[in-house]
Amino acid sequence: MTRQYEHFINGKWATPAEGAYFESTNPATLEVLYAAARGSKADVDTAVRAARAAFENPLWRDLSQTKRGHLLRKLGDLVGEHAEELAQMETADNGKLLREMRGQLATLPEYLYYYAGLADKVQGSQIPTMNPAVLNYTQREPLGVVGAITPWNSPLTLTTSKLAPALAAGNTVVIKPSEYTSRTVLRLAELTVEAGFPDGVVNVVTGLGAEAGAALVDHPEIAKISFTGSTATGSAIAASAAARFIGCTLELGGKSPNIVFEDANISNAAMGVVAGIFAAAGQTCIAGSRVFAHRSVYDELLEKVSARAKSIVIGDPREDSTELGPLAFAAQQEKVGSYVELGVSEGAKVLTGGGRPEIDLPGYFYAPTVLTDVDNSMRVVREEIFGPVAAIMPFDSEEEVLRLANDTQYGLAAGVWTQNLARAHRMSRRLEAGTVWVNTYRAMSPMSPRQGFKNSGVGIEHGLESMHEYTRLKSVWINTDEGPVADPFVMRA
């Protein structure tokens, strides 16, 4: 009998109003892991009402900013204590390497500690005005109930990136995790209660995007939506938010360029290219899926990247020796396969990979794939595949590669490999991407703000800047002159 998970609302487990559940499967073994509540509009309404009541509850509303920080610090400690359990669950749910999930879980407390520290640094200022007798100051207030909608690829890290600043700023939250990875977010919500957050401050409604997700976005009591996921869903969410004038932070898709110049250390660059596209089986928003190599080093880079791609150990993501696990679910595997077929029909050549590898496990595996004979006009180069597929192209000059790299609807990240300092700065300035890495790829920290440019997002996540995404600014004017208030119809001299 598989475990059945309910929603987590108002500090307790809550059975779904319609009594429906859906199953979650291990993508490596295809074993059914658990069933989770299939949330409906009614469940979302219950959760949002609980969150609104918690927002107005003096236990939360009147808690000092410093004490909010203490609760976040305690939550960080609890996440650290449960890191192994959470990492095991995430690997079983989405097929990412246990080594990687252990690494993510080891850093996750730092996200909570960072925002714990920021909780009492959120402040307004006193503004000089034309009349010294009038005191004008600003204060930053929480927004109310924040709706957080997250994907399956790094469920806890991406959820915590929203939850920590939202709570530090004094909001309450309803989370709708991905239907592929519900349970670690439920476990995190349980830990918030253990940490001492009042009931209703953190709620989770599980379910499908078009049902629970859409109901959360459209709920009239939601003050803001914070979403990480695909550009198509983000666009629908932005339209709904715009109709009600509520804010949204959107972290969306990418098709990031990873650029190797002739003056780079080519061995390092090859490792950066491999890490950029094959880590996490390419299922990362920041995947360096478009690789541009200067023509003079193109053959050497191709040789090194394809040799490493062929030697990547594919297997059970729980094994220490495994370097590449399965894709997260069947539709992902089909999508990756059909993009590679499309690329071939457009004229691409498959240098390595290009199908399911020979492997004993029944799961959704796809071999690390390198495509050549590709150019920027092909769909396989223009659209996000979200799998282990690199398109490698030669270029002749810095101006040309800048034009090619920026010729995309996305603007999430970019990599540059060069030993020329001036070129590194020139490229960083002119690349249209919210994050630029030079001689590294995939570096990330809760302290470092990041933003998707163009169709890759709206708003900022991480860093001090993301605190402001979860507050609104109020301007308060106080007349300190106790004399008579002037008749408004008598013109001042």
CB nearer to ligand NAD: pick between 52 and 176: 176
Binding residue (CB under 6 A) for ligand NAD from 144, 254, 388, 411: 254
CB nearer to ligand NAD: pick between 158 and 312: 158
Part of the chain binding ligand NAD (CB under 6 A), chosen from 28-36, 247-255, 266-274, 363-371: 247-255
Largest CA distance in the chain: 89
CB nearer to ligand NAD: pick between 397 and 440: 440
CB nearer to ligand NAD: pick between 149 and 467: 149
Burial degree of 273 (CB within 10 A; 0-12, 13-18, 19+): buried
CB nearer to ligand NAD: pick between 68 and 462: 462
Least distance in angstroms from the C-beta of 96 to ligand NAD: 12
Using Cβ positions, the residue closest to ligand NAD within the complex turns out to be 209
Q: Are 43 and 212 in contact (CB under 8 A)?
A: yes
Nearest to 168 by CA among 199, 137, 190, 197: 197
How is 362-394 classified by DSSP, letter by letter?
A: -S-----EEEES--TTSHHHHS---SSEEEEEE
Q: Does 229 bind ligand NAD (CB under 6 A)?
A: yes
User: What three-state secondary structure class fits 219?
Assistant: coil
Least distance in angstroms from the C-beta of 159 to ligand NAD: 10
Q: Considering only residues 128-147, where is the footprint of ligand NAD by CB under 6 A? A: none
User: What three-state secondary structure class fits 259?
Assistant: strand
Q: Does 179 bind ligand NAD (CB under 6 A)?
A: yes
Nearest to 368 by CA among 344, 383, 387: 387
CB nearer to ligand NAD: pick between 364 and 395: 364
Q: Are 161 and 462 in contact (CB under 8 A)?
A: yes
Task: Cite the active site residues.
Answer: 251
CB nearer to ligand NAD: pick between 110 and 218: 218
Q: Does 329 bind ligand NAD (CB under 6 A)?
A: no
Nearest to 406 by CA among 370, 453, 345, 440: 453
Binding residue (CB under 6 A) for ligand NAD from 142, 198, 253, 388: 253
Binding residue (CB under 6 A) for ligand NAD from 142, 144, 198, 209: 209
Least distance in angstroms from the C-beta of 213 to ligand NAD: 2
The residues with which 413 forms a beta bridge, in sequence order, are: 435
Cα-based angle 277, 462, 70 (whole degrees, multiple of 5) = 130
Size of the site for ligand NAD (CB under 6 A): 30
Q: How far is C-alpha 159 from the chain's CA centre?
A: 7
Q: Does 228 bind ligand NAD (CB under 6 A)?
A: yes
φ, ψ (nearest 5 deg) of residue 478: -125, 120
Nearest to 26 by CA among 86, 88, 106, 85: 88
Q: Does 105 bind ligand NAD (CB under 6 A)?
A: no
Q: Does 288 bind ligand NAD (CB under 6 A)?
A: no
Give the pairing type, strands 247-251 and 222-228.
parallel
CB nearer to ligand NAD: pick between 27 and 229: 229
Cα distances (Å, whole numbers) of residue 32 to 23, 183, 325, 407: 7, 13, 18, 42
Q: Considering only residues 408-427, where is the footprint of ligand NAD by CB under 6 A? A: 412
Q: Does 90 bind ligand NAD (CB under 6 A)?
A: no
Which positions ≥6 away from 48 have C-beta within 8 Å? 145, 147, 174, 216, 219, 221, 222
Least distance in angstroms from the C-beta of 178 to ligand NAD: 4
Q: Does 285 bind ligand NAD (CB under 6 A)?
A: yes
Part of the chain binding ligand NAD (CB under 6 A), chosen from 94-102, 206-214, 367-375, 485-493: 206-214
Residue span 434-463 as binding mask against ligand NAD, x where in contact by CB under 6 A, dash where not: ------------------x----x------
State the residues that interact with ligand NAD by CB under 6 A: 149-153, 158, 176, 178-179, 209-210, 213-214, 217, 228-230, 233, 236-237, 251-254, 285, 384, 386, 412, 452, 457
